[in-house]
Amino acid sequence: MKNILFTVEYDGTGFVGWQRQPGQRSVQGELEKGLALLLDQPIELLASSRTDAGVHAYGQKTNFIADFPMPVAKIRRAINGFLPDDVIITQVEEVPMEFHARFSAIGKRYVYKIIRADERRIFDRKYALTVTRSLDVEAMNRAAQFFTGTHDFKAFSGKNGQINKSTERTIHSMTVSEQPQNAVHIEVVGNAFLYKMVRMMTGSLLNIGYGKNPPEAIGQILEGKMKRIGNTAKPQGLYLVEVYFDQEKLRRTL
C-alpha cells in the first residue's frame, strides 16, 4: 500500500466544484473515475481545499492510499490518459502513510485575477473578473494589510454548516498589485480559509478600490464595528495556486 499525493491543475468552468456530487460533474468525481479505470479499484480522494464551482486551481493537492501495480514515476502519465481535457495531474509524490492533504496542510496561497477594461471581455470571461470602473490599486493594497495577522474572520465567511466552529484564521501576507496587460492580482497566503472567505475579502477590497470606503474600513469590519462591504466576488477570478505542508511530515517516514 502506498500513500500517493497528486498536484492537480484544473479549469473550474465545467465543474460544480471539487467535491463529488451525485449526477454532477466534479473534479473529485472525474479524478476518482479516471483512477478507478486505471487501477481497477474504487478510490476515494482527500483534497486540501474544496474549491467552489467556477474556481480554478494551479496547485490543488489530493491524496489517496492504494495498492499500486506500477512504479510511482509512471503514475502521472498513466492517469492523465484517463482524465478529461480540463484537469491534469502535474506532479505525483509518495508520502508517509499518515499524511493527509487536508489535515497536514499548514497554509494555502490563492490569487484572484482582475482585468481592467472598457468593456466586458470575451476571452477572459471565465478566467478573471472584468472591472470597467476605475480602480485605486494602491488603496486596495493598503486595505489588504488590515487582513494580515490573526483575526476573527466571521464577517468574511459564507454559510456552510460550520456553526460553532472557530472562525479565527491567520493571514500571513496579502498584496494587491498591478500586472501586465491591465491585470490586477490579489494574492493571499494564510493558514486556512473559511468558506467563500477569499471571494468576500476580494469583494470588500474592490469596494475600496472603487472609492466607496477608505482602506481603514477593513480594520473596522474585522473588529466588528462595521458590516462587511462589497459583494462576494465571482468565482471565475479565483485560483488555488499552492498548498503548503510541513516538510518534515511530508518526508518523515519515507
Q: Which residues bind its own copies (CB under 8 A)?
A: 9-11, 56, 80, 85-88, 90, 119-120, 122-123, 125, 127
Backbone angles phi, psi at 117, to 5 degrees: -150, 160
CA–CA dist 168, 148 (Å, integer): 12
Residue number, 11 or 136, with CB nearest to its own copies: 11
Residue number, 72 or 97, with CB nearest to its own copies: 72
Residue type, 167: T
Catalytic-labelled residue, pool 11, 52, 67, 136: 52
Active site residue 52: yes
As measured in angstroms, the least distance from the Cβ of 222 to its own copies is 34
As measured in angstroms, the least distance from the Cβ of 73 to its own copies is 15
Query: What is the per-residue DSSP string for 24-89?
Result: S--HHHHHHHHHHHHHSS----EES--PBTT-EEEEEEEEEEE--SS-HHHHHHHHHTTS-TTEEE
Residue number, 9 or 136, with CB nearest to its own copies: 9
Q: What is the CA 17 to chain-centroid distance, rounded?
A: 11
As measured in angstroms, the least distance from the Cβ of 9 to its own copies is 5
As measured in angstroms, the least distance from the Cβ of 125 to its own copies is 5
- Compute the CA torsion angle 84, 87, 91, 93 (nearest 10 deg): -80
Residue number, 104 or 130, with CB nearest to its own copies: 130
Cell (9 digits) for 56: 480554478
- Compute the CA torsion angle 210, 214, 217, 219 (nearest 10 deg): 120
Residue number, 127 or 210, with CB nearest to its own copies: 127
Sequence-distant (6+) residues with CB within 8 A of 201 are 147, 156, 174, 186, 188
Cβ neighbours of 50 (radius 10 Å): 16
As measured in angstroms, the least distance from the Cβ of 149 to its own copies is 33
Q: Known catalytic residues?
A: 52
